[in-house]
Amino acid sequence: MLLPGWSVAVAEAAENAARLLIEPKPGLAPLAGAEAPSVPIWGYGGHVPGPVIRVKRGSTIRARLKNSLDQPTTVHWHGIRIDNAMDGVAGLTQDAIRPGETFDYTFTVPDAGTFWYHPHNRSWEQVARGLYGLLIVDEDIPPAVDRDIPFIADDWLLGKDGKIDERSMGHFGQWTHGGRLGNWLTVNGLTDPEIPVLAGERIRLRLVNSANARILAFDFGELRTQILALDGQPVEKTEFLSGGITLAPAQRADLIIDIVGKAGSKIPVMEVSTRDRIKAAQFVISEKPPLRNAPPAEPAILEANTLLRPPKTDGAQHIDLVMEGGAMGGLSQGTIDGKTLTIQELVDKKLVWAFNGALGMQKEPLARIKRGRTAVINMVNRTAFPHAMHLHGYHFRVVERGGKPVYGAPWRDTELVDVDEQVRIAFIAENPGKWLFHCHMLEHTAAGMVTWIDVA
């Protein structure tokens, strides 16, 4: 089912199949507010965010992509444990779809949850211009909420004219540092949007960080906020937010918020990742009578996605991943397909970040893993920047951080690895194919932080 990207109603879930036409193309968006001139963007259907795709768990999605951009593109269905051929990675699972051409994506969705879709060709440019949308997979028994609200946050780099700063697109300074960091925050493609609610309502907010590179954090103030799911997967214990929730690029969170406040009042949602707290959006409580006088006493319950099996690390295959390079990284040389190049030769190719000394996509995978075996990847960040590591086709669990074991960590498909941090993740390699593993700061991917695993 295709819904407008900014929908505040609980939509009826589609039948067990969905046929969609997805058309990335140029459009205009009121990014800087209704009074400012509309901004030329690229969006699915010409809109940012693109349409919400919403289906039931176990559905088959048939999506025809028609490329109406002037450059090749693909679609990656982020977080879906998908058939490898449909993963949408140009150069690994498919050829990029040329302008004017179409490609048919057909895949089933094994897990319920909050996912998103975006290009996986020149992502650093195509996502920055607005190509992304929400993919909701409904549970068989969804948690009881009164309203289901998307909350897709983006960090735009706009010029003085209020348009996307194109001159800095692909700027090497962004690639060597923290990526393309913006100066304009939108939620659902709008500046500080008002989200209408009723007093006493219980809402499910689906947060996505669609920024190229900025780590975002949101604070809901006094509102009681339960963490329901992270990266699409339900959390196991009932947990409430204290302070803000941090989302690295590509990460998601499903939150349950009980609206408490006077009729007509406004409750701000603040973005608090930097010292200048920014109002990201606001709940506006209707003048209508409250839906209930006090919030429901019980926390919301979300059943786990039962097909996901927890890894046991005995007998696992251990894989090391050392991150090096970037500004202040001190990288003096590196390899491409086994051949050593000097840093100057690498810089000429716009490659500055290394995994295990290798820069960019290699012919050989990081690891070949026998299907069904547990894999443990030990990530060590020796760079001066945090990295949001995303494994395609899987959810994994952190099992160790800073040399200390971690128990009961949430399932994730994207994990933030901080400066000087060591993080070990584990998963059962059940999904066969060639799976990309990369930093989701999209300029870092482009400048070398990308590898893949081969599960056969």
What are the residues binding Cu ion (CB under 5 A)? 387, 439, 441, 444
Shortest approach of Cu ion to residue 130 CB, angstroms?
21
Minimum distance of Cu ion from residue 447's CB (angstroms):
9
Residue showing tokens 């879930």: 13
Question: Smallest distance, Å, CB 440 to Cu ion?
Answer: 7
Nearer to Cu ion, 148 or 415 (CB): 415
The dihedral region occupied by 315, where left means phi > 0, alpha psi between -120 and 50, and beta the remainder, is: left
CA atoms within 13 A on the CB side of 5: 25
User: What is the helix, strand, coil percentage profile of the chain, to 5?
Assistant: 5, 45, 50
CB of residue 210 vs Cu ion: minimum separation in angstroms? 16
Contact present, 109 and 58 (Cβ < 8 Å): yes
Q: CA-CA distance, 425 to 351, in Å (whole number)? A: 26
Residue closer to Cu ion by CB (options 59, 414) is 414
Q: How far apart are CA 192 and CA 245, in angstroms?
A: 18
Shortest Å distance, C-beta 444 to Cu ion: 3
**CA–CA separation, 413 vs 410, rounded Å?**
10
- Minimum distance from residue 389 beta carbon to Cu ion (Å): 8
**Based on CB atoms, which residue is closest to Cu ion, 227 or 247?**
247
Min CB(157)–Cu ion separation in Å:
17
Of 281 and 391, the one with the shorter C-beta distance to Cu ion is 391
Question: Tokens standing for 416?
Answer: 């933030």
Nearer to Cu ion, 81 or 444 (CB): 444
What token pair was written down for 326? Answer: 């970037």
Q: How far is the CB of 122 from Cu ion (least distance, A)?
A: 17
For Cu ion, the closer CB: 186 or 445: 445
CA atoms within 13 A on the CB side of 136: 31
At 243, give phi and psi (nearest 5°).
75, -160
- Residue 244 makes CB contacts below 8 A (sequence gap 6+) with 217, 218, 219, 220, 270, 272
The radius of gyration of the chain from alpha carbons, rounded to an integer in Å, stands at 21
Cβ at position 439, least distance to Cu ion in Å: 3
Reference 6, options 149, 168, 169; nearest CA is 149
109-119 CB burial, b ≥16 within 10 A, e <16? bbbbbbbbbbb
Q: Which is nearer to Cu ion, 239 or 418 (CB)?
A: 418
Residues contacting 22, CB < 8 A, separation 6+? 44, 45, 50, 51, 63, 64, 65, 66, 75, 117
Number of CB atoms found within 10 A of residue 103's CB: 20
Q: Which is nearer to Cu ion, 62 or 350 (CB)?
A: 350
**Closer residue to Cu ion (CB): 51 or 325:** 325
CB 247 within 8 A of CB 216: yes
Q: Which is nearer to Cu ion, 147 or 438 (CB)?
A: 438
For the bound state, the minimum distance from the C-beta of residue 327 to Cu ion, rounded and expressed in Å, comes to: 12
Spatial contact of 214 and 249, defined as CB atoms under 8 Å apart: yes
As separate numbers, helices (DSSP H) first and strands (DSSP E) second, the chain gives: 4, 35
- Residue nearer to Cu ion on the CB measure, 81 or 387: 387
* Minimum separation from the CB atom of position 91 to Cu ion (A): 19
What 8-state DSSP symbol labels residue 120?
Answer: S
Give the angle subtended at the CA of 394 by the CAs of 125 and 253, to the nearest 5°: 70
